Each structure stands twice: as structure tokens, then as C-alpha cells.
Amino acid sequence: MTAQTLPPDASVNDAPEKVMTRWLWLVGVVVLTAGILFGYDQGVISGALTGIKRSFNLTTLMVEIVTSWVTLGAMVGSLVAGTIADRFGRRATVLVAAALFISGALVEGFAPGTTVLIIGRLVVGSGVGVASVAAPLLASEMAPTRLRGRFISTYQFGITFGIFVAYLVDELLASGEWRLMLGLASFAGVVLVLLTLPLSDTPRWYLKVGRRADAEHSLQRVTRDNATAAIAELEARLDEDTATASWKEILAPRWRRPLVIGIGLAVFQQITGINAIIYYADKIFAAAGFSSVAGQTAATTWAIGAVNVLATLIAIAFVDRLGRKPLLLAGLVGMGVSLTVVGFAFLSLDHVTRTSSTAANAGSKGPSDAGIITLVALVVYIASFAFSLGPVVWTMINEIYPRQVRGRGVALATAANWFSAWLVSQFFLSIVKRLGEPVTFWIFALLCGVCFVWIRLKVPETKGRTLEEIETMWADESST
Ligand code: BGC
């Protein structure tokens, strides 16, 4: 659990030339593919649920478990990934994630009953968790400094693209073909293995384990600069860098602010509702009056999936120009307002359903005005998330921790993210059942408001600062 990223100022592969060598492209494609698999495994369940429910006759609790235990697996996966990455290398860790993706998807696809299906979900989930630490780590250690942000954003882009592809697959296949929907991820896992095998590990990891020649060779593949000089510099830094803090130390008062901020951002990213929408989109659209399954899946694919991908590009374009805080704050306003509107739309839907309950088949006419308003509001919500909390939270988690605590800080924040994702997806349907859709969406909206105030007051801007400057900033309490 001590995985560390390259120091920010390491000039390793920091060549000023057109830096994208063939190997760097390959690293980019590996990171993208890992993101796509992560997204696919998260998104595919939305369209598969109806078929699974029919095959296994599931209660609401079991539907929630089948949906959400991917995130529990991911929590465990993210906690152990750092240790695997330090001991066996970053490349090997990506291969472990791929192996978990492949085996989990096959178990899901051939599951004879609910228990095996849930085991498959846990295995796939641990792959998602391992990938969520390994891919950004590989990206940040291989990428030239100037392109590091873009490499990490590529990962988030992969996630959203994977969710979109999952929705498309859900739309193309009938819900009865849920085994194929879930099992298909194993092919993508095989592609990830094939792409990763020719890669070498990162220069930094080779140096850490004393394989200097391999480090130099690896560096030569990604830069045309003087690899020997860069390696010497990196080696010097490594000495300062190997003093990794213990778990106890990470809780020391001097690291408390970045720890709280990282975990806070990770938790808020989830408790403002994103995965309730991603996982249960079809069900939300059904409740909003999209009575045909085709209508529900089309709304999910395009209004949620495609918008999520496109709006992520906004973040990639502006995160380094406008800064993290403006994007986060603007996104939270959009998310809060749209969730409030969704709540009101459901309130009026409830009213219409009650008052027209005597009219036969009131719900079978297709989306009402309130249904259309829900659709539009959810588009605004997803777009607002995708240019703010989606990519910016991962970016900040990977840049706010001082070197000594980075590996553990990132692991803790990532695990907190998955735990909160689990909480939301596990209890969303039950909360809706108990409190109704309007109150549930208003709770998410309220949490957007709380997050807005907290970020405004407590979270510093990190744009344009080196990691050293960020480290110094924590020491100076008055800097926010
Ligand atoms: C979140 C995921 C979410 C995805 C949606 C990511 O940043 O961590 O939980 O499903 O964005 O695009």
C-alpha cells in the first residue's frame, strides 16, 4: 500500500520535443483500455438488471446487492493494489486487474444462481479497484511531466466511454441476454492483457527494486532525451523518496488537511448521487414514464452515457486553464439545481399517477411532461458532474498528497470513494421505496450544497502548482 508516483519535478521523460513516442502511445492506450473496462463493468448492470431479475426472481435487496457489490470488491482491490504495485510492478498490477476482469466476467456470464453471480460481481469489482489505482499510477510514472494531467484524464475519459459502450451493448442486446452483456467484458480483458504484455514497467519501479539496466531501457523507450542522466537524477530523488510513511504516520496532525480534503472529495463525489443515476438509470426513466424498455435504454444510452463522455472533454480542455475549484463549484451548482428539478418532476409524476389511477393504463402512454423534464434535468446533472467532480476529484486525489504519504493517501481516498459508492448503490432503491423519489433526489441536492460550501471554504486551488508547492502550502495553514 505504499505505491508512490514520480516526484513532480523529476525531469525523467520530461523531454521538450514532440514527446509521444510509440511506447507512450501504447501506455496511453493501455490506460484508456483499463478505464474502458472499469466503466463497462460499472455501467453494464443498468441494462442487465431486468433480465437477471427475471432469471433469478430477485427481491429489491438482492437487486441492490447484485448491483452494488462491485463497489465493495473495488474497495478491497484499491486497498491492496498499492502493495501489489510496489512488490510486483505497475505493469504486473494492470495484468492482475485484467485477470480479475476476465475471470469475474466469465463467472458472472455462466452463473447458475445468485450466489455465484454475486461472487463474480465481487471479483470483477476487485479488478475495478486494482485498475483504479494501477492505471493512474502507470500513467503518472510513464508520462512526461507536461502531459501527466492529460494521461490521468484519459483514464477518466476511458471510464465514461466504457459506461457508454456498456449502455450501447445493453441497448443492442435484449435484457434476456444479460449473460452475454456481463460476459463480454472478458474479451476486453483479453485485449488489455495483449496490450500490456509488450510494455516494460516504469523506470521508477525498476530503480526501486534495483534493476538499473531495465530502468534505463524502459526510459529510452519513452523519451529521446539522455536517459542515463535522467536515471541518475531519478535515483537521487528515489533516496529521498523511499522514506515511506507508516499508516500511523499518515494520521499525524501535519498531514491531516490533505487527508481530510482527499477523503472529503472522494466521498462527496459519490454521495451527491452519480452512481445512483449510472446504475439505476433505466429504472429512473421507467419511473419517469418511459414505459417501453427500448425507450428507457435509449434515454440511458444517449442522455446519460453519451453526455457523460462529451462533457468529460470539457474538463480535459479547461482543468489546467480555469483551475480545479471553478470547475468543481460550477459543476455542483448544475448538479444541485438539476437534482432539485428532478425531485419536483417526480412529485408531479406522483400526483398525476395518483389522480389518474382510475384511468386504465395511465402509465403506458410514454413519457409525460414531467418525464421529459426529468430527462432534461438528468442531462444537465450528468454534464455538470462530468466536467467537474468526475475528473477533477481523481486529479486532485493524485496531486494533493506529499510524497511520503502519497501511496497511502491515494489508497485511502480511493477506498473511501468505493465505500461511499457502495453505500449509495446499496441503499438507493430502499431509500426511494421508503422516502419516495422526490425526497431522495432532494437529499442528493442538499449534499451538493454542503459540498459547494465546503469546497469554497476549505479546498485550496492546486492549478499550476508543483507538488512541492502544494506540500509547502499544507504547512502554511493560512494559504486557503
Ligand atoms: C466515478 C465513478 C463514476 C464515473 C461516472 C468516476 O469519476 O469515480 O464512480 O461511475 O465517474 O462517469
pLDDT in tens, 363-396: 455 678 888 899 999 999 999 999 999 989 988 8
For residue 308 and ligand 1, the question of a CB distance below 6 A is answered with: yes
Whose Cα sits closest to atom 10 in ligand 1?
Answer: 275
Rg from Cα positions in the chain: 22
Nearest ligand 1 atom, CA 312: 12
- Reported pTM: 0.82
Q: How high is the pLDDT of residue 434?
A: 94
| Protein residue with its CA nearest to atom 1 in ligand 1 | 390
**42 CB less than 6 Å from ligand 1?**
yes
Asked whether the beta carbons of 165 and 111 are under 8 A apart, the reply is no
Which atom of ligand 1 is nearest the CA belonging to 308? 12
- What is the 432 CA–ligand 1 centroid distance (Å)? 21
Count Cβ atoms within 10 A of the Cβ of residue 119 and give its class: 0-12 exposed, 13-18 middle, 19 or more buried. middle
- The protein residue whose alpha carbon is closest to atom 5 in ligand 1 is 160
Q: Name the most confidently modeled range: 97-101, 248-252, 412-416.
A: 97-101
Query: Is residue 13's pLDDT more than 50?
Result: no
Determine the average pLDDT of the residues in 325-339. 97
Nearest atom in ligand 1 to the alpha carbon of residue 390 is 7
pLDDT in tens, 33-56: 999 998 998 888 877 888 899 999
**Which atom of ligand 1 has the smallest separation from the CA of 389?**
7
Q: pLDDT-derived band of residue 11, with 50, 70 and 90 as boundaries?
A: very low
Tell me the average pLDDT across 133-139.
Answer: 83
Closest residue CA from atom 12 of ligand 1:
160
Going by alpha carbons, the residue nearest to atom 7 of ligand 1 is 390
pLDDT, residue 476, reads: 72
Q: For CA atoms 102, 105, 107, 110, give the dihedral sign.
A: negative
For ligand 1, say whether the CB of 159 is within 6 Å of any of its atoms. Answer: yes
Q: Of 301-305, 320-324, 380-384, give the lowest mean pLDDT range.
A: 320-324
Cβ of 278 closer than 6 Å to ligand 1, yes or no, is: yes
| Per-residue pLDDT at 351 | 63
Question: How far, CA to CA in Å, does 219 sit from each of 130, 428, 467?
Answer: 25, 47, 22
154-213 confidence digits (pLDDT tens): 888 999 999 999 989 988 887 679 999 999 999 999 999 999 999 988 888 888 788 888
pLDDT of 393? 92
Query: Which residue of 38, 152, 278, 423 sits with most ligand 1 atoms within 8 Å of its CB, as the best mutation to test the pocket?
Result: 278
State whether the beta carbon of 160 lies less than 6 angstroms from ligand 1. Answer: yes
Q: Mean pLDDT, to the nearest integer, of 421-448?
A: 93
For ligand 1, say whether the CB of 421 is within 6 Å of any of its atoms: yes
pLDDT level of residue 146 (50, 70, 90 thresholds): low
CB contact burial 67-87 (16+ within 10 A = b; e otherwise) = bbbbbbbbbbbbbbbbebbbe
Pocket of ligand 1 contains residue 390 by CB under 6 Å? yes
Per-residue model confidence (pLDDT) at position 355: 56
> What pLDDT is attached to residue 124?
95
What contacts 24+ positions apart, CB below 8 Å, involve 319-324? 319/149, 319/153, 319/391, 319/392, 319/395, 319/463, 320/149, 320/463, 320/464, 322/463, 323/461, 323/463, 323/464, 324/392, 324/395, 324/396, 324/461, 324/462, 324/463
Q: Integer distance in angstroms from the first to the last C-alpha of the chain? A: 30
Q: What is the pLDDT of residue 4?
A: 42
Report the distance separating Cα 406 and Cα 397, nearest Å: 9
Is the CB of 413 within 6 Å of ligand 1? no
| The pLDDT value given to residue 193 | 96
Per-residue model confidence as pLDDT tens digits over 82-93: 788 888 988 999
Ligand 1, closest atom to CA 156?
7
In the prediction, which pLDDT does 2 show?
40
414 lines ligand 1 (CB under 6 A): no
Return mean pLDDT, the chain.
84
Q: How confident is the model at residue 463 (pLDDT cuts 50, 70, 90)?
A: confident
> Which atom of ligand 1 lies closest to the CA of 278?
10
Atom 9 of ligand 1 has which residue's CA nearest to it? Answer: 275
| Ligand 1 centroid, distance to 462 Cα (angstroms) | 21
- If you average pLDDT over each of 111-115, 278-282, 405-409, which comes out highest? 111-115
Nearest to 230 by CA among 217, 219, 222: 219
22-199+245-479: CATH topology: Growth Hormone; Chain: A; (1.20.1250)
Residue 267 half-sphere exposure, CB side, CA atoms within 13 Å? Answer: 14
Percent of the chain whose predicted confidence (pLDDT) is above 90: 41
Protein residue with least CA distance to atom 11, ligand 1: 390
Give the pLDDT band (50/70/90) at residue 226. low
Ligand 1 atom with the shortest distance to the CA of 421:
9
